[in-house]
Structure 1
Amino acid sequence: MPNIQKSSVGFLNKHQFWLFIIAAIIFIQIPIISVPFKWLESYFHEISHGLAALITGGSVVQIELFPNGAGLCTTRGGFTLLISFMGYAGAIMWGYLIYSIASINQKVAKIVTGLIIALIVCSLIFWVRDLLTLFILLVVLGIFFLQFKLPKLGYLQKLLKFTGIMVLLNSLLSPLYLLDGRSLGDGARLAEITFIPELIWVIIWSVMAILSLFTLSKRSKFPLR
């Protein structure tokens, strides 16, 4: 019996990344359960716009999130091209970093969770102006707060990895909604600035997400200790 338990644990650890992928794909198909994770990806998308504005000398006026997973970050000043690009690219980077950092060790996972909580709280204080966004961000905050309060750090580490995968998968799917012929959103904005077609920007973001997942799948075979 002990050998069976050890082999089961070994199998789960060996194939943990792909089990997270399967679980995330299932979660995305469930309407109610998947919604908070769409909000999570939307938040990382919008905060990436905001951080890009701040880094390039601009400012954030307001962040708005909507029930369908859409969002809007109103900025002033800064490098417009980078700000527009970093929405989808930033969400991909957040998902990748959350999973990667959670893979280092349990204490680091707890520190990262605390930093994300602090970022969300700052967003609530400085950039939220409406009740709907306030409610959505409180739900997003709750996701990380519940993880932070888990009694066993091992559970936190696994849930943080799952969260990273969910953000990445939603980041892979989200740019595809730009291909609706309406010429709205970040892709259309970048096309207007650079004269590079919106489709090319969607392909760039999709390739970034796929490469991020591919890299994580390779690294999962040689986990950090």
Structure 2
Amino acid sequence: MGNLIKTVFFLILSAFLTHLIPFSDFFRNLDTMIHEFGHAIVTLALSGKVMYIELFANHSGVTYSQVTNRWSLLPIALAGYTTASLFALFMFRMRASEKHRLGLQVMTAIAIVALILFVRNEFGIFWLLGFIILNTIMLAFMPRWLSDLYYLLLAFLTLEESVFGPFSLILYAWNDPAKAGDATNLSLVTPIPAIGWAVLLTLFSLWCAVRALKLFLGGRKSSRSSRPAYRQQFEE
């Protein structure tokens, strides 16, 4: 419980500080991209069809997909927030292992795939292009200390969004269960109500956040020693 309280406090402080950084809102769409990419990949893994993805300036997104099995909606709906939470944990694990360049390369590769295969709205296309170009500049031309700071900003922004996103579902589900995004979709195929799913998704995101912050506060370790026909739209 102590770690959970510390994590919540740390996230609130982080959210306050990162909002003071100019243009930080631009990078909050990284979490949205990962969220929608998770929906898309699981849809394809279950032999569904991804029609397209839209990313919006208010950090929301939607994946339009088609599946032939109603129960496929369960893992597809779960994939968005869980993928985002796990990716935030991945980012901190890469930094703790002195592999932040690999982390940047992975998120850039995902952005390229999303741009080529999935995203079709104007804002989403231009955001992805800008994000890919900026990451490429950081990887190819910037000194290590600057690319590390850039990566750390992305990591914290993604961690914040991965927790506050599912937490907002609790509020939406409480006010109107039919408008709670993925929690609503999950409630349609299970006996668990939307607010129940919203709480479960939030708890999972907090579990990932606790582990991520332990990696950050524990310092780095050298990479040499580390071993390490149903239609549905899924919104964040």
Residue equivalent to 1:188: 184
Paired residue total: 205
Residue pair 1:27, 1:33 contacting (<8 A) in 2 also: no
Alpha-carbon spacing, 1:19–1:186, altered in 2? closer, same or farther (3 Å): closer
Equivalent position to 2:42, from 40, 52, 57: 52
TM-score, reference length from structure 1 = 0.80
Q: Which amino acid aligns with 2:39?
A: H
Return the alpha-carbon distance in structure 1 between the equivalents of residues 182 and 211 of structure 2: 26
Residue equivalent to 1:40: 30
Residue equivalent to 1:88: 81
Residue pair 1:97, 1:164 contacting (<8 A) in 2 also: no
1:42 offset after TM fit, Å? 0.9
- Structure with bigger helix share is 1
Return the alpha-carbon distance in structure 2 between the equivalents of residues 170 and 187 of structure 1: 17
Select the structure with the greater relative contact order (CA < 8 A; seq sep ≥ 6).
2
Alpha-carbon spacing, 1:155–1:61, altered in 2? closer, same or farther (3 Å): same
Q: Which amino acid aligns with 2:59?
A: G
What whole-Å deviation, never above 9, does each CA across 1:113-132 have from its counterpart, x for those lacking one? Answer: 22321221121112122222
Aligned-pair identity (%): 21
Consecutive unaligned residues of structure 1, counting only runs of 5 or more, are 1-17
2:210 corresponds to 1:214:
yes
Q: Which amino acid aligns with 2:140?
A: K
Residue equivalent to 2:139: 148
Residue pair 2:14, 2:156 contacting (<8 A) in 1 also: no
Residue pair 1:24, 1:162 contacting (<8 A) in 2 also: no
2:62 corresponds to 1:62:
no
Consecutive unaligned residues of structure 2, counting only runs of 5 or more, are 1-8, 223-236
2:192 corresponds to 1:201:
no
Alpha-carbon spacing, 1:137–1:97, altered in 2? closer, same or farther (3 Å): same
Residue pair 1:53, 1:60 contacting (<8 A) in 2 also: yes
SS at match of 1:129: coil
Q: Which amino acid aligns with 1:174?
A: G
How do 1:90-105 and structure 2 match up within 5 A?
A: 90-105=83-98
SS at match of 2:120: coil
TM-score, reference length from structure 2 = 0.76
